[in-house]
Structure 1
């Protein structure tokens, strides 16, 4: 295997890296993102059978900023959930966390206000009923781990746990994160660092040390367009202050995800900082049957909940225990950029604005993509999906018309 070096000047700046010629389609899609899809800065990385066959980066850290280098990192928002879920599955694989047990076995204080019968798996599959909280959060709430734990312990669920599901967009940080803490004796960020990031050699942080702050590209907010403004989710955010959609986005204690304070916090659902290389590296062991038993790997990739209407996102969703599965909402009315089309075997997680990391154990592929210009919609936009599509096409997959790459 001989990788080719790549370097080209685009509208947004230089794009460079290495690639296997088999994946030339991924290279072309990555360049096209800068030329015609308003990419500003990004990194895409792909491994196959444990070998890195694509690693490309380029553009700028801001529209008028310095070049995006090999070592540039950014916040990857909900891609962080995949990292947190991996910690829970590692503990389950070691016999330290029973996914079928009541939450009260590990966290007795949680079993109140209608959550007495909640199970560990309900925390992972977004069915425990805490898609967000009604309690008005204090300023800086997300940066105060102990405060958020206290709020969630007292909070009544939006539905009887286990009876439906709705995306736990931020609360996953503490519902699953505190189970990792209780089962391991280490807080989530520390457990991830010691048991996942360091052993795998990942440049991936949940709670970023100050010395890495200069490498972080600031996120560029999406500019809403007419189509995104008409989605049911956006309309609920605007018009229904009691909706989960509104609470999830607006009841946030003034969180600023570009701030040093936020980067330093431990928000295991939303503030992981890494790049495409870190995301591909995170999922590489699971693409190749490593790190956990075959039974644990099978459970990680199996659909646990699926619904025609997610209580938070108001679109059809499909989740494994802590991971997103392929979601095809291309034909849902008033919906755009709310799909994430993978193979049926793949599992991983999208981040707000369009980043993604996933494992495909059938293809033995892992994939990661991060960027600094956020897109509209909830799941992937055309930049990330075009890269995923090119990866599967390069492997000989035929079509995604069925809702999965086949």
Structure 2
């Protein structure tokens, strides 16, 4: 490391190039704070953090700083359903309405759980404009989705369910299990594996939360795109879901908005998906049935994504790359990259919304190691 940015953590010498890439990115000054973790063949080989929790640089980023996962939270949410499927409580090819009867309204009675998990249910946007102050009101938003008609026949198009995904999948979990998604994640994933992951932060956890900010003033309008398009509709309801004043507020940090504010550390996310990878590679069923763990990372639908505005190959809560690797690249710049062939997982979390350069540089460096 060149020493210009104070860093904490450690790295196996084999992955020193990732450490250097992380230092280089932090030294650009684009991100106030960030963290990166790498797991190789089930072993944590890099766990680094640098910078500050807040844009004013008064609270140093620590190993315990919690970052909103944004789109990475969709993979965690999908995992909850796959755990229920591993217990034979959910059939991925059954209609969602079998478990959540109200969802069958408006022509959605045959939408399958698999379509819900693969962003092909035709519900990329909340149907009723809602203000940010309603983010904590789960039932209002869930009822909106239950009563909504699909924007197109389910299974016929691909479109990132940008903000709806967490509510759709989270309500399925609640209908099947009885617990809210936040409680399920705490009881079934975070506590048993001693992972720092949470949906709905309590006041003590909120003191560890990073404050997000936009990379530049034009990031949000540039990201939302043209009014009334599928992309703008998907990303802008509830209004303010990507506004730092909303995201950093106590009411939003404590609310269930799983497509945005599942919070965690890079180390915890990497270790969680290391368990998934182990199940698929070594037939280890400690978290998921090995067949379902493999199913997560295979292509279920592909095509031009009407929200992301590019071609994608969708797994269950993740995107599949041409080389067989899978994961999630969040709009803001966070990254989960799982390479089954190499046995490697890379996670990058940042407080900066809109800087994708750092994640790309770090992933490139990781691919050159090992």
TM-score by length of 1: 0.83
Cα separation, 2, equivalents of 1:105 and 1:88:
14
Question: Comparing 285-294 with 261-270, which one deviates more in the overlay?
Answer: 285-294
Equivalent pair of 2:195/2:268 in contact (CA under 8 Å): yes
- 5 Å-filtered alignment, 1:2-151, equals 9-10=3-4, 13-36=5-28, 38-65=30-57, 66-151=59-144
What is the aligned partner in structure 2 of residue 300 from structure 1? Answer: 296
* 1:223 aligned onto 2:223: no
Give CA-to-partner distance per residue, 1:197-237, whole Å, 9 cap, x none: 11111111111111111111100112156xx79xxx948x4
List structure 1 segments (4+ residues) > 4 angstroms apart after TM superposition: none
What is the aligned partner in structure 2 of residue 239 from structure 1? Answer: 226
What is the aligned partner in structure 2 of residue 357 from structure 1? Answer: 336
| RMSD, matched Cα | 2.0
TM-score by length of 2: 0.91
Offset of residue 181 of structure 1: 1.2
Equivalent pair of 1:140/1:254 in contact (CA under 8 Å): no
Cα separation, 2, equivalents of 1:280 and 1:198:
16
Give CA-to-partner distance per residue, 1:323-358, whole Å, 9 cap, x none: 1222xxxxxxxxxxxxxxxx7333222333111224
Offset of residue 37 of structure 1: 6.2
Cα separation, 2, equivalents of 1:164 and 1:394:
37
Helix, strand or coil at the partner of 1:199: helix
Offset of residue 253 of structure 1: 4.2
User: Structure 2 unaligned runs (5+)?
Assistant: none
Cα separation, 2, equivalents of 1:101 and 1:127:
15
Cα separation, 2, equivalents of 1:89 and 1:358:
19
Offset of residue 117 of structure 1: 1.5
Cα separation, 1, equivalents of 2:184 and 2:359:
29
Cα separation, 1, equivalents of 2:238 and 2:204:
27
Offset of residue 139 of structure 1: 4.7
Offset of residue 196 of structure 1: 0.8
* 1:394 aligned onto 2:365: no
How many pairs were matched up?
359
Equivalent pair of 1:130/1:157 in contact (CA under 8 Å): yes
- 5 Å-filtered alignment, 1:155-170, equals 155-170=148-163
Higher-RCO chain (CA-CA 8 Å, sequence separation at least 6): 2
Equivalent pair of 1:140/1:253 in contact (CA under 8 Å): no
